[in-house]
Chains A and B, each alone.
Chain A
Amino acid sequence: MQGGAGNQTVDQKAFEKAPVGTVEEGALDGTTMTFTSWGGEFQKGQEEAFGTPFAEKSGAEVLFDGPTDVAKIKAQVDAGNVSWDVVNASPTMNTAHCDELFEPLDWNLIDTSKLPESTPKSKCYVPSLSYGYTFFYNADKYGDNPPKNWADFFDTKKFPGTRAVDGRPVPTAGTYEAALLADGVATDDLYPIDTDRALKKWTDIQDSLKYWSSGAEQTQMAQSGEADMVFGWSGRIYEANQSGANFKPVWDKAFIASDSFSIVKGSKNKVAAHAFINYALGADQQKKMAELTSYSPVNVDSKPVIPKEAEEFNVSSEAVAKVSIPQNSEYWGKNLDELGKAWSDWLS
């Protein structure tokens, strides 16, 4: 999976100020580059929406690999043998390793004018899609009196039942915040995070907790009835509903999260990688990806046609935007070691 053939001949000037979603016909003839994402149906959707069309239009040969794995990126960078170019990652990961594992982006080559205001954007990444990180409850179980906010999620007396939460050593940004919100902390006072207070709140309900360690496990736990509530990623619970589960999202103070496009430090195809990202952020491409993967687009002109039952999970809808809060991936990225250590110590 070696890229780099012909990258010397690519003239950066030709790509500057290209409008989002466009690439000049045949501009990358003879270039080979690699796009890495999370794999599965999700990546297939991305390939269909912008990966393959970009290759056809630009003339570049685009290789696909996955899943994204920060340890593999570190191995490539440390060995000075970088074979991944564009990586679909998480803003937290990008911020934590900006300029060390990820290239600072060249904003002359990416048109960000159509990105929604609310989505995060930083030195080493642009958002690639949006989703919600919140809790979802089994509508059949809780019926007429469902949990409505974080306080309810942590109230195991009023709402008995198992809750599935992030069991990975570094949890999704928002895991501590949810506990603090339930404990009465105001949204504006969340940072810096009081990890001890948050973990105490989690300890209080630990007998009702189950742990997932991947998106697929969230889907499985919702589908099988293993958990009555899942604190997880909207796309995965939507998948469970597609297969017969009946889970409803709670958007009050839900964390709106993004995936990101980023470039591996030392990529041999930097210009092509920027061109790829600029193309993938186009309105049509984002619309198509949203329709194929159920994740929300990050282009204000993108208006995907989504089925009615998916509308409830559409985090770019106005109803959700009004009550939710953005995930603070900057803070998480900068304090990742400390936040991860506290969580993984608490877990084990």
Chain B
Amino acid sequence: MAVTLTATDKAPPSDGAAARRPVPEASARNGFRLVVPAVIVVVLVFVIPVLYIVWQSVSDPTIGLQNYAWLLTSSTNLQVLGRTIVVAIGATLITAVVGYPYAYLMSTSGPVLRGIMMALVLLPFWTSLMVRAFAWVIILQNNGVLNAILRGMGAPGVSLLGTTTATLIGMCQVLMPFMVLPMVAVMQSIDHRLPLAAQVMGASPQKAFRTVYFPLSLPGVFAGCLMVFILSLGFYITPALLGSPREQLLPNAIYAQVLELLNWGHGGAMAVALLMIVGVLLALVALLGRVFGVQIGKLGGTGL
């Protein structure tokens, strides 16, 4: 979860806001003191265990890099790694494509509709991940709700449970709020007179959207995609219940190594690999975000 928090902090809007307001020196020092307990907790429950895992990955059963050699030479592992990234990209794309129009409608609609749409995104979010995964099991299984409806309409049933498709469906539902909420936050801050002005100046509505509105909304899309992508790399329960061991994702493979096979070194190497993927991606996206941020500033002058 600490990774997630960092991700939110890195989201462009808060970055900009913090930079704009100068902080008096005295209160900064007090602020630092206030942070100390949180830092201690993070070091104790996050940094030290992570360092321990890194240590295990190079010391179990003997000191050396054999666990990383194992990770990178086994085709099974590379398959699992590749599949994990592909599924994460898939979940990000799907939630972005579905989430964007949803967020657009939400940011432009009146308070009642917005409230209802907010509830629709958040209500499932407040339900336990486990319960939702089981609900999908009931919906997607061979004699489940979905197939009952399909057969009722005379269509052939589909066997979804135990496939990557089922995992993706479950993941997208869980991840939707993480995509929609940052988008809405940014979209609400966009001055809707700007695309209108473009149209007054002769742009078609499509062009006004494409060249004015869409670039202005990009920081929200970025923040959402980053959150969803990183979170989806760490999904465990949903693939465990909806997917199949034959289409394992990295967190499930780590679980198997640590808890079932008792190869803590292997599990450690996998965990470090996952951490490094997330780190590299964060850096990459921060870089890209800066590039885009500059462009948006030039085009729209919103200061984001």
Q: Which residues of A contact B (CB under 8 A)?
A: 69-71, 74, 97, 162, 167-170, 210-211, 213, 220, 224-226, 337, 340-341, 344-345, 347-348
The answer to whether B103 has its CB under 8 Å from any CB of chain A is no
- B83 to A, closest residue via Cβ: A348
State whether B245 touches A170 (Cβ < 8 A): no
Besides the known contacts A220-B137, A224-B141, 9 further A-B residue pairs in the complex with CB atoms under 8 A apart: A167-B246, A210-B161, A210-B162, A213-B240, A213-B245, A345-B74, A348-B245, A348-B248, A348-B253
Q: Complex: how many Å from CA A224 to CA B144?
A: 8
Q: Is the CB of A71 within 8 A of B258?
A: yes
Interface flags, B229-266, vs A, CB<8A=1, else 0 = 00000000000100011111000010011111110100
Alpha-carbon distance A347/B262, docked complex (angstroms): 18
A345 to B253 CA separation, bound complex (whole angstroms): 11
Indicate if B128 sits at the interface (CB-CB under 8 A).
Answer: no
Indicate whether A70 sits within 8 Å of B259 (C-beta atoms), given known contacts A211-B244, A225-B143.
Answer: yes
Q: Are A167 and B259 in contact (CB under 8 A)?
A: no
Q: Is the CB of B80 within 8 A of A348?
A: yes
Per-position 1/0 for B68-82, Cβ under 8 A of A? 000000101001100
The number of chain B residues touching the other chain, given as a range, is 20 to 34
- Whether B59 is near chain A, meaning CB under 8 Å from some CB there, is no
User: Would you call B173 an interface residue if the criterion is a C-beta within 8 Å of the partner chain's C-beta atoms?
Assistant: no
B142 interface residue per 8 A CB criterion: yes
Chain B interface, >50% SS class:
helix
Tell me the minimal C-beta distance from A333 to chain B in angstroms: 13
B180 CB to nearest A CB, Å: 32
Residues in B neighbouring A340, C-beta threshold 8 A: 260-261
Residues of chain B at the chain A interface (Cβ within 8 Å): 74, 76, 79-80, 137, 141-144, 161-162, 240, 244-248, 253, 256-262, 264
Provide the residues of chain B in CB contact with A224, threshold 8 Å. Answer: 141-144
Given A71-B262, A213-B240, A348-B246, A226-B142 contact (CB < 8 Å)? yes
Q: Which of B162, B247, B260 contacts A169 (CB 8 A)?
A: B260
> Which residues of the partner chain B approach A226 to less than 8 Å between Cβ atoms?
141-143, 161
Nearest B residue to A344, CB-CB: B256
> Could you give 12 example pairs across A and B, Cβ below 8 Å?
A69-B259, A74-B262, A167-B245, A169-B256, A169-B257, A169-B260, A210-B244, A220-B137, A225-B142, A225-B143, A226-B141, A226-B143
A276 to B79, CA, bound (A): 47
Smallest distance from the beta carbon of B152 to chain A beta carbons, Å?
17
Instruction: Choose among A162, A211, A345, A348 the residue with the greatest number of B CB atoms under 10 Å from its CB.
Output: A348
User: Of all chain A residues, which has the CB nearest B143?
Assistant: A225
Residue among A69, A340, A341, A344 with the highest chain B CB neighbour number at 10 A: A344
Residues of A within 8 A of B244 (CB): 167, 210-211
What residue of chain A has the Cβ atom nearest to residue B159's Cβ? A162
Q: How far is the CB of B62 from chain A (nearest CB, A)?
A: 15
Question: Considering the chains assembled together, what is the distance between the CA atoms of A162 and B261 in angstroms?
Answer: 28
A70 contacts which of B141, B143, B245, B262 (Cβ < 8 Å)?
Answer: B262
Alpha-carbon distance A237/B10, docked complex (angstroms): 51
Indicate if the CB atoms of A344 and B143 lie closer than 8 Å.
no
Q: What residues on A are CB-neighbors of B142 within 8 Å?
A: 162, 224-226
Q: Which residue of B lies closest to A71 (CB)?
A: B259
Q: Could you tell me the distance between the alpha carbons of A121 and B161 in the complex, rounded to whole angstroms?
A: 40
- In the assembled complex, which residues on chain B have CB atoms less than 8 Å from the CB atom of A348? 76, 79-80, 245-248, 253
Q: Which residues of A contact B80 (CB under 8 A)?
A: 348
Q: Which residue of B lies closest to A72 (CB)?
A: B259
- B contact residues around A97 at 8 Å (CB): 262
Closest Cβ–Cβ distance, residue A74 to chain B (whole Å):
6
Q: Which residues of B contact A71 (CB under 8 A)?
A: 258-259, 262
Q: A337's closest neighbor in chain B, by CB?
A: B261
Which residues on the A side are within 8 Å of B257 (C-beta)?
169
* Interface pair B246/A344, CB less than 8 Å apart: no
B144, chain A: closest CB distance, angstroms: 8
